[in-house]
């Protein structure tokens, strides 16, 4: 849906807004009708039994997940280092612990859902209730695992972000709580739609739920604007480039504006019966988490490759006879038989960050309906050209920032006689 399409649909959108608002007084009555209609007894109170069994499934699922968590903790401790010296040691521990915690969340949901279905799964309304909420619970558990290992409030020595302990704890609780709120709201909206809530009442619920989620995330970003601004500029904010300083000072305002704008577009899509409305609000958060996680795993692989390259280098290789033709190319670096691992590492890190930015922007654009993944698309070809052409400027820039390497090319490998 383009902005031109939205402009053309303005009269219809105005009509739908008036229709939905006219049914506001009957909103809760519509919910009661939907609950009573799906109840075998015709009474809303029957659903209390369903939620009681849901609670039983949650309790048993938590017990099983707790036992799995104890086993997973012993497994993750094998990668724990009290004072890690290499970045790969931190990423390896956090990534492995995150994977195990995500499996624990899935186990919790599967066990709880299976128990609830075994006790009271012969009624359609019960099945819809269990499926909706256990899916939300599993998603919350996975999100918690991601944020716990992203901010690492419980293991400061393994933390990848330069955050104080109090900030890391507050950020983990805040982002996990906001994501949990959005998941519960989405689950409740899906559940009521599956139970047959009236179309206008469901539209009003989606609009209100997306607004609540947008406001929660906006408040969260404003509350944590300073720590994230420090992450953008680095430890020395005055020495950071001007674009980064501008971004650090305005990122929270941009985020709030984006969430409110996406709420407006999502509401229009909801009222006009267009798909992917709720994803416009929470989709970017999911993309940020996935992109950062993938970037962290890539850094882990880069560190491993750089370590293997350093291990293969032989600093004790004897001098070889020098070709007089090579004298003009003497850069003073010394004899080398393999590329230095540090330039390779810096180049790979910059390349990974560049690709992560492109992928994140592409995913956000795809949520908005922009076709960026079609190979015949001009935007896809432009991104492909950027990725192919990227190593040269990155390689040149990563050496020029060191005073001792200015004016030098890459070390030239001399021919042995």
Largest CA distance in the chain: 98
According to DSSP, residue 231 is labeled H
Q: Residue 317: helix, strand or coil by DSSP? A: coil
Residues whose CB falls within 8 Å of the CB of residue 89, separated by 6 or more in sequence, listed in order = 79, 81
Q: Minimum mean pLDDT among 134-143, 182-191, 292-301: which range?
A: 292-301
Q: What are phi and psi of 162, to 5 degrees?
A: -80, 75
Q: Using one digit for the tens of pLDDT, what is the confidence trace for 276-313?
A: 655 666 677 777 777 877 877 787 777 777 777 777 76
First to last CA, the chain: 67
What angle separates helix 242-271 from helix 10-22, to the nearest 10 degrees?
Answer: 70
Amino acid 259: pLDDT:
84
Q: Please determine, for residue 218, whether its predicted confidence score (pLDDT) is greater than 80.
A: yes
Asked whether residue 344 carries a pLDDT value surpassing 80, the answer given is no
- Lowest-confidence range among 43-47, 78-82, 210-214, 409-413? 409-413
Long-range contact list for 12-20, CB < 8 A, 24+ apart?
A: 12/272, 13/268, 13/271, 13/272, 16/203, 16/271, 16/272, 17/271, 19/200, 20/200, 20/203, 20/204, 20/207, 20/271
Q: What is the DSSP letter of 400?
A: H
- Give the pLDDT confidence score for residue 104 in this predicted structure: 94
49 versus 371: which is more confidently predicted? 49
Cβ contacts of 201 within 8 Å, gap of 6 or more: 23, 26, 27, 30, 31, 192
Q: Which tokens hold the place of 210? A: 């997306």
pTM of the model: 0.75
Q: What is the pLDDT of residue 85?
A: 74
Instruction: State residue 277's pLDDT score.
Output: 57
* Residue 66: per-residue pLDDT: 93
Q: Which residues contact 133 (CB under 8 A, 6 or more apart)?
A: 54, 187, 191
A 10 A CB-CB count for 175 gives: 22
Give the three-state DSSP class for 313: coil
pLDDT > 90 in the chain, percent:
25
pLDDT over 60 at 165, yes or no? yes
Helix (H), strand (E) at residue 52: helix 46-77
In percent, the amount of the chain with pLDDT more than 70 equals: 76
Least confidently predicted of 16-25, 86-95, 118-127: 86-95
Residues 204, 199: Cα–Cα separation, whole Å: 9
Asked if the model's pLDDT at residue 346 lies above 70, the reply is yes
Dump pLDDT digits (tens) for 170-184: 989 998 999 999 999
Alpha-carbon span 280 to 274, nearest angstrom: 12
pLDDT, residue 341, reads 65
Hey, is 276 helix, strand or coil?
A: coil
Answer yes or no: are the C-beta atoms of 108 and 76 closer than 8 Å: no
Q: Please give the pLDDT value at position 173.
A: 93
Return the structure tokens found at 250: 């305005």
pLDDT band for position 410 (cuts 50, 70, 90): very low
Q: State the pLDDT at residue 405.
A: 46
Q: Per-residue pLDDT tens for 21-58?
A: 887 888 889 999 999 999 988 888 899 999 999 999 99
Angle subtended at Cα 269 by Cα 264 and Cα 271, rounded to the nearest 5 degrees: 95
pLDDT tens for residues 48-84?
999 999 999 999 999 999 999 999 888 887 777 777 7
Tell me the chain's radius of gyration from C-alpha atoms.
27
Domain ranges in the chain? 22-197, 293-314+336-405
From the DSSP assignment, how many helices (H) and strands (E) are in the chain?
Answer: 14, 0
pLDDT digits (tens, 9 = 90+) for 377-405: 555 555 555 555 555 444 444 444 444 44
Give me the pLDDT at residue 383, please.
54
Residue 210 has pLDDT above 80, yes or no: yes
Residue 129 is predicted with a pLDDT of 94
Provide the pLDDT for residue 349: 75
């Amino acid at each position: 849906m383009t902005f031109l399409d939205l402009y053309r649909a303005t009269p219809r959108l105005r009509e739908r807004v008036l229709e939905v608002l006219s049914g506001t007084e009957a909103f809760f009555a519509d919910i009661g009708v939907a609950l009573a209609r799906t109840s075998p007894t015709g009474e809303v109170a029957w659903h209390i039994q369903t939620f009681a069994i849901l609670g039983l499934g949650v309790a048993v699922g938590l017990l099983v997940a707790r036992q799995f968590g104890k086993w997973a903790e012993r497994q993750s401790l094998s990668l724990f280092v009290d004072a890690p010296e290499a970045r790969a040691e931190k990423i390896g521990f956090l990534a492995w612990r995150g994977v195990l915690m995500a499996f624990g969340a899935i186990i919790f949901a599967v066990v709880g859902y299976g128990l609830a279905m075994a006790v009271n799964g012969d009624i359609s309304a019960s099945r819809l209730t269990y499926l909706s909420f256990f899916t939300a619970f599993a998603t919350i558990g996975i999100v918690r695992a991601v944020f716990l290992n992203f901010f690492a409030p419980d293991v400061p020595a393994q933390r990848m972000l330069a955050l104080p302990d109090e900030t890391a704890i507050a950020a983990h609780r805040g982002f996990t709580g906001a994501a949990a709120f959005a998941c519960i709201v989405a689950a409740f909206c899906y559940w009521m739609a599956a139970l047959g809530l009236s179309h206008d009442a469901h539209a009003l619920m989606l609009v209100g739920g997306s607004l609540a989620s947008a406001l929660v995330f906006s408040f969260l970003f404003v509350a944590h604007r300073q720590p994230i601004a420090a992450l953008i500029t680095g430890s020395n904010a005055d020495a950071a480039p001007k674009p980064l300083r501008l971004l650090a000072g305005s990122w929270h305002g941009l985020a709030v504006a984006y969430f409110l704008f996406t709420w407006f577009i999502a509401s229009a899509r909801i009222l006009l019966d267009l798909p992917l409305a709720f994803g416009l609000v929470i989709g970017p958060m999911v993309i940020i988490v996935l992109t950062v996680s993938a970037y962290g795993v890539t850094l882990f692989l880069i560190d491993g490759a750089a370590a293997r390259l350093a291990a293969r280098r032989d600093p004790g290789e004897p001098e070889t006879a020098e070709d007089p033709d090579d004298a003009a190319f003497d850069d003073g670096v010394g004899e080398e038989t393999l590329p230095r691992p540090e330039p390779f590492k810096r180049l790979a890190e910059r390349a990974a960050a560049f690709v992560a930015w492109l992928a994140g922007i592409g995913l956000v654009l795809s949520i908005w309906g922009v076709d960026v993944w079609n190979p015949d698309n001009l935007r896809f070809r432009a991104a492909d050209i950027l990725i192919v052409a990227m190593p040269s400027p990155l390689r040149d820039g990563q050496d020029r920032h060191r005073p001792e390497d200015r004016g030098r090319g890459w070390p030239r490998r001399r021919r042995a006689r």
